[in-house]
């Protein structure tokens, strides 16, 4: 029997992946989606606050423009974003958002019946389009509906383990069917990754447990460079206790941050923007209050919504009210929510151009797993959902064009068998592994090390220590055991396999961060406090070698706005 084959193989089930699938299907190609969870379970569903686009729908936003949106994005990025990419994203924003509305997305509405927009951090105008505080859910369900309408084939609970590369061209993937434990080669003319970020390399993450970074690690192992991975976003407000996200919209709607003395401390750090400063600045401000003893015992501050009134909270922020009541027993209508910063987003990722193309022919990436770069050193809230729908579409269109012009058809069986043999060998060796090391202990130590030592505030000593720990964990990982050797739905084995990939990424993050001797956006060093444009206005590129990552750098595209001091 010949191996499986589709012209375009999409990996991932979130917004970027599905948007790419739709584009390729509409181009008339044979498309299949391979996803570790059912598409509507993907992490896009958890996005809350909204999606940015200069629609100028709000009364106070009549003179908003795509150029202003691009400038806010670039300034928010601490000037590390590639400016043409930021302009591309903001220029595509209105049409992509309108398209989602035409496809049925249940956006909240203005009095005139237009898509409602709210203020968000680091933005000059209210330009964040929302569906209450469940915007990711509204968008992802709408996007999935469109894939059903188009009858796009979905392989559910399939986890891609490797790319198939032949003479510098991507020719498919090797994928695990989690339900029966079989591993299959899947031929393709083009592969598009929309596999999400690396959040769960860190402790205290707001991310879904499935956000493992596997897609990035697979691309890296196949020789595709990863860019700017040291830039990790810490969201200012995650719930104290389990770090579930409490949306920025809570502050966009007027919420206050208060320390244990009851002070609105943001006036010290961002006197104009206050609580609506960009995320890197607000997260650092909160952490400073906690570190200097003005937080509450255990390490948190208050997000106070009590002055907003019940009606506004029930209408605009119902989901975070539920989260707060359910997980910490606090009704934000009556009492402030205990919050602390938590790992939230991976600005870096698979190096792509504005069309999702990578250094590997036939291989594309979009969404959080990719780094175009539009977020630079710090992403603005509301720009990640935007990135998924803009670059998902662009990657889908570009890959389709590539397939039509250069598609090579079904790859040779010998190639697929060879790659299958290699990946299955690795998998089977792990399945039989009976070393002394416990994968859960390695995972816990990696997460704790990354949040403590490559977290919000960094210095050479902590990061050197973190890097040594990660290398030690990599050595221990070689002597790991698995607890279950069955084939069907073997979570233990899959999670242990993914742990090896997480450790690759942890090393790249720690090394890139240690080498970057400046502070920029989310990368805040106490031993190099200033931004250093003369030496570090450049992208970090990590390349796979068998002995660990090799680093070099790539210039930032600065075409319109010269770097300036960031004041908010």
Partner 1 sequence: MSITDTKPQLEGAKTVTVNIFRYDPATTDKPHYDSWQVPIIGSMTVLDLLFHLLEHEDGSLAFRYACREAICGSCALYVNGSYRLACKTQLKDLKAPEINISPLPHLKVIKDLVVDMDPFWEKYERIKPYLITRDEPPEKEFLQDPAARLKMDDMVDCILCGACYSGCPTVWTDPDYLGPAALVKMNRFTVDTRDQGNKERTKLFDNEHGVWRCHTIFNCVEACPKDINQTYSIQHLKRRAVARRFGGK
Q: Single out the residue of 28, 59, 148, 412 in contact with partner 1 (rule: CB under 8 A).
A: 148
- Which of 27, 91, 98, 558 lies at the binding interface for partner 1 (CB under 8 A)? 98
Token duo for residue 339: 């919050």
**Nearest one of 209, 219, 214 to 159, comparing CA atoms:** 214
Q: Closer to partner 1 by CB, 342 or 376: give it.
A: 342
Binding partner 1 (rule: CB under 8 A), the pick from 11, 301, 319, 423 is: 319
272 by DSSP, 3-state: which? coil
Cα(277)–Cα(216) distance, integer angstroms: 30
**How many residues touch partner 1 (CB under 8 A)?**
67
Q: Interface with partner 1 includes 452 (CB under 8 A)?
A: no
Residues within window 405-434 making contact with partner 1, judged by CB under 8 A:
none
- Out of 486, 517, 560, 567, the residue judged to bind partner 1 by CB under 8 A: 486
As to burial, measured by CB atoms within 10 angstroms (0-12 exposed, 13-18 middle, 19+ buried), residue 555 is exposed
| Contacts for 432 with CB less than 8 Å, ≥ 6 apart | 485
Is there binding between residue 375 and partner 1 (CB under 8 A)? no
**Contact between 484 and partner 1 (CB under 8 A)?**
yes
Which DSSP helix (H) or strand (E) runs through 239? Answer: strand 232-239
Rounded to whole angstroms, the Cα distance separating 528 from 357 reads 34
| Closest by CA position to 204, among listed 453, 11, 554 | 453
Please give the Cα distance from 350 to 12 (Å, whole number).
14
Binding flag, residue 103, partner 1 (CB under 8 A): yes
Q: Which stretch binds partner 1 (CB under 8 A): 118-126, 362-370, 444-452, 556-564?
A: 444-452
**Interface with partner 1 (CB under 8 A), residue from 482, 499, 501, 513:** 482
Distance CA 317, CA 133 (A): 5
Compare residues 86 and 339 and give the one whose CB is closer to partner 1: 339
Q: Considering only residues 323 through 362, tell me which ones interact with partner 1, judged by CB under 8 A.
A: 323, 326-328
Annotation marks residue 566 as catalytic = no
Hey, which residues between 162 and 201 contact partner 1 (CB under 8 A)? 179
Q: How far is the CB of 99 from partner 1 (least distance, A)?
A: 9
Two tokens at 269?
Answer: 């750090």
Which is the catalytic residue, given 36, 96, 235, 516?
235
Residues 28, 470: Cα–Cα separation, whole Å: 46
285 counts as binding partner 1 under rule CB under 8 A: no
The 10 Å Cβ neighbour count of residue 104 is: 12
Q: Which is nearer to partner 1, 104 or 262 (CB)?
A: 104
> Does position 488 bind partner 1 by CB under 8 A?
yes
- Which residue of 30, 65, 106, 460 would you call a contact of partner 1, by CB under 8 A? 106
Measuring CA to CA, which residue among 533, 539, 468, 521 is closest to residue 76? 521
227 touches partner 1 by CB under 8 A: no
Token reading at 382:
């509301």
Counting Cα atoms < 13 Å in the Cβ hemisphere of 191 gives 31
Q: Does 141 bind partner 1 (CB under 8 A)?
A: yes
Cα–Cα distance, 507 to 496 (Å, whole number):
17
C-beta closer to partner 1: residue 61 or 138: 138
Locate tokens 């084959």: which residue? 5
What's the rounded Cα separation, in Å, for the pair 106 and 364? 30
Write the CB contacts of 543 (distance below 8 Å, at least 6 apart in sequence): 223, 225, 549, 550, 551, 552
Residues near 385 by beta carbon (within 8 Å), at least 6 away in sequence: 15, 44, 47, 50, 51, 52, 135, 136, 139
> How distant is the alpha carbon of residue 382 from its chain centre?
12
Q: Which is nearer to partner 1, 77 or 128 (CB)?
A: 128
Query: Whole-number minimum distance, CB 485 to partner 1, in Å?
Result: 9
Q: Rule CB under 8 A: which of 490-529 touch partner 1?
A: 490-492
Reported as half-sphere exposure (CB side, CA atoms, 13 A), residue 130 has a value of 29
- Sign, CA dihedral 178-180-183-184, equals negative
Interface with partner 1 (CB under 8 A), residue from 26, 27, 65, 101: 101
Per CB under 8 A, the list member of 296, 489, 551, 553 interacting with partner 1 is: 489
For partner 1, the binding residue among 45, 173, 313, 433 (CB under 8 A) is 45
Dist. CA 18–CA 144, nearest whole Å? 7
Regarding 448 and contact with partner 1 (CB under 8 A), the answer is yes
Please pick, from the candidates 59, 63, 109, 552, the single residue that binds partner 1 as defined by CB under 8 A.
Answer: 109
Task: Determine whether 429 is an active site residue.
Answer: no
Q: Which residues are bridge partners to 174 per DSSP?
A: 162, 185
Output 2 or 113, the one with its CB closest to partner 1.
Answer: 113
Where do we find the tokens 């999409």? 10
Residue of 149, 221, 479, 550 that binds partner 1 (CB under 8 A): 149
Residue number, 186 or 319, with CB nearest to partner 1: 319
Q: Contact at 8 Å (CB) between 111 and 368?
A: no
Determine which residue in the list 68, 137, 235, 410 makes contact with partner 1, applying CB under 8 A: 137
Catalytic residue among 41, 118, 251, 520: 251
* The binder of partner 1 chosen from 2, 62, 112, 297 (CB under 8 A): 112
Indicate which residues carry an active-site annotation. 235, 251
Interface with partner 1 by CB under 8 A: which residues?
Answer: 37-38, 40-43, 45-46, 55, 98, 101-104, 106-115, 131, 134, 136-138, 141, 145-146, 148-149, 179, 203-204, 208-210, 241-245, 319, 322-323, 326-328, 439-440, 443-444, 447-448, 451, 482-484, 486, 488-492
């Amino acid at each position: 029997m010949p191996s499986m084959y589709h012209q375009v193989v999409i990996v991932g089930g979130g917004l970027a992946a599905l948007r790419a699938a739709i584009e390729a299907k509409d181009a008339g190609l044979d498309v299949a989606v391979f996803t570790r969870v059912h598409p509507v379970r993907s992490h896009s569903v958890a996005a809350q606050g909204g999606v940015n686009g200069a629609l100028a729908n709000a009364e106070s936003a009549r003179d908003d423009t795509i150029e202003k949106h691009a400038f806010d994005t670039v300034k928010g990025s601490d000037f590390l974003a590639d400016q043409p990419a930021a302009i591309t994203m903001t220029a595509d924003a209105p049409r992509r958002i309108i398209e989602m509305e035409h496809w049925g997305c249940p956006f909240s509405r203005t009095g005139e019946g237009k898509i409602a927009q709210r203020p968000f951090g680091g933005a000059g105008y209210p330009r964040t389009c929302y569906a209450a505080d469940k915007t990711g859910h509204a968008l992802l369900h709408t996007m999935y509906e469109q894939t059903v309408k188009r009858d796009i084939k979905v392989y559910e609970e399939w986890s891609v383990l490797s790319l198939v590369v032949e003479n510098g061209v991507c020719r498919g993937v090797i994928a695990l069917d989690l339900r029966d434990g079989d591993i299959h080669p899947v031929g393709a003319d083009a592969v598009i990754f929309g596999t999400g970020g690396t959040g769960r390399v860190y402790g205290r993450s707001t991310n879904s447990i499935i956000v493992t970074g596997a897609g990035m690690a697979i691309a890296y192992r196949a020789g595709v460079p990863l860019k700017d991975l040291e830039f990790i976003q810490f969201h200012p407000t995650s719930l104290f206790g389990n770090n579930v996200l409490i949306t920025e919209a809570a502050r966009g709607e007027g919420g206050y941050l208060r320390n244990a003395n009851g002070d609105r401390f943001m006036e010290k750090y961002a006197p104009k923007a206050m609580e609506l400063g960009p995320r890197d600045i607000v997260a650092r401000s909160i952490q400073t209050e906690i570190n200097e003893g003005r937080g509450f015992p255990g390490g948190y501050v208050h997000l106070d919504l009590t002055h907003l009134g019940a009606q506004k909270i029930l209408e605009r922020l119902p989901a975070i009210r539920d989260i707060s009541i359910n997980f910490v027993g606090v009704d934000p209508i009556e009492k402030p929510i205990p919050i602390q910063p938590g790992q939230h987003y991976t600005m870096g990722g698979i190096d792509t151009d504005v069309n999702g193309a990578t250094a590997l022919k036939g291989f594309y990436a979009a969404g959080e797993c990719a780094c175009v770069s539009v977020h630079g050193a710090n992403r603005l809230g509301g720009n990640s959902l935007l990135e998924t729908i803009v670059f998902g579409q662009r990657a889908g269109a570009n890959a389709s064009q590539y397939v039509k012009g250069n598609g090579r058809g079904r790859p040779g069986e010998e190639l697929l068998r060879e790659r299958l043999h290699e990946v299955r060998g690795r998998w089977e060796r792990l399945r039989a592994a009976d070393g002394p090391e416990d994968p859960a202990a390695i995972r816990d130590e990696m997460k704790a090390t990354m949040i403590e030592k490559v977290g919000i505030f960094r210095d050479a000593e902590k990061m050197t220590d973190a890097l040594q720990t990660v290398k030690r964990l990599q050595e221990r990982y070689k002597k790991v055991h698995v607890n279950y050797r069955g084939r069907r739905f073997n979570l233990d084995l899959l999670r242990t396999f993914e742990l090896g990939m997480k450790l690759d990424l942890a090393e790249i993050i720690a090394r890139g961060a240690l080498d970057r001797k400046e502070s920029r956006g989310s990368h805040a060093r106490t031993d190099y406090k200033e931004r250093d444009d003369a030496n570090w206005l450049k992208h970090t590129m990590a390349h796979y070698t068998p002995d660990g990552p090799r680093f070099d750098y790539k210039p930032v595209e600065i075409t319109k706005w010269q770097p300036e001091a960031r004041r908010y």
